[in-house]
Amino acid sequence: MPRLAVIGHPVAHSRSPDMQTAALMEMKLAGEWTYGALDVAPEDFEATVAELAVAEEYAGVNITVPHKEAALAMADEASEGARAIGAANTLSFREGRIVADNTDAGGLLRSLPRSFRGERVLVLGAGGAARAAIWALVDEGASVDVWNRTADRGATVAAELGAGTITDPDPAAYSLIVNTTAVGLAGEDTFEALPLSPDSFAAGQTVLDMVYTEEPSALLAAAEDAGATVVDGLEMLVQQGALSLRIWTGEEPSIEAMRTAVRRG
């Protein structure tokens, strides 16, 4: 029976097991495949993945914080996107070899209501999630500016991925705003930590916040009040998870079944 899992630290909060199990059930694969969660500390990550790769029990794993860069470093093969982004969120085990992919980039594009080719986009943050977003949007043909609290880090990431940098953005100048930071997850004031205010948004814009909580984030609530189109982190979780499942099983999972499961969680 092929096994799948999400690896992170911590990982108990992850909704991936419920989401992916619902998809496997809809695909009528739940009797053959299982999906769980493995909490692995950074110092144990390399040994754990190496063991999974040769044990022939696991077909693959999703990778979440803080292991995405380490996952790419362990790979015997990697997709073009994973190499360019510098991180992997999907590992497949094939005859003892580790194959790395990054479905965060494709998941972000599939989460959006339309293409932003030729339009201005603001990405907040410069971590692994930001790298995937920047790479995907630049590759699609958008003009991307990167803001990061540590400006030097933002400039480095932007230069590597073909984006620009900005220290004092005018939110009204962008068709799409993507928050890849964790601001808001711990209850801090979103508008003190980010270069935005509650009146930053306008109808016609799209705002994607990768943070997901039980209630809409303060960022998305303000954007929706202004008439902007909003996309939350759960939708991106679903879309990237569906791409991972397709890599492992070769079949297209039910997005609706995954959405229902992840929002019920």
Question: Which one is catalytic: 15, 67, 68, 259?
Answer: 68
Question: Domain ranges in the chain?
Answer: 3-101+235-264, 106-227
Given phi > 0 = left and psi -120 to 50 = alpha, else beta, which region is 116?
Answer: alpha
Query: 1: pLDDT confidence band, cut at 50, 70 and 90?
Result: confident
pLDDT tens digits, 54-95: 998 999 999 998 999 999 999 999 999 999 999 999 999 999
pTM score of the predicted model:
0.93
Predicted local distance difference test score (pLDDT) of residue 183: 87
Considering the chain, what is the average pLDDT of its residues?
95
Helices (H), the chain: 16-26, 42-55, 68-74, 80-85, 103-111, 128-140, 151-161, 190-193, 218-225, 233-249, 255-264
Instruction: Classify domain 106-227 by CATH number.
Output: 3.40.50.720
Task: Tell me what pLDDT residue 215 has.
Answer: 80
Q: What is the pLDDT of residues 146-202, one digit of tens each?
A: 999 999 999 999 999 999 999 999 999 999 999 999 887 777 788 999 999 999 999
> Quick check: do 3-101+235-264 and 106-227 share a fold?
yes
Q: Which residue reads 């990768």 in tokens? A: 210
28 is catalytic: no
Cis bond upstream, residue 66 (ω within 30): yes
For domain 3-101+235-264, the CATH architecture is 3-Layer(aba) Sandwich (3.40)
Confidence band for 216, pLDDT divided at 50, 70 and 90: confident
Q: What is the pLDDT of residue 124?
A: 98
Residue 265: its pLDDT value, please? 62
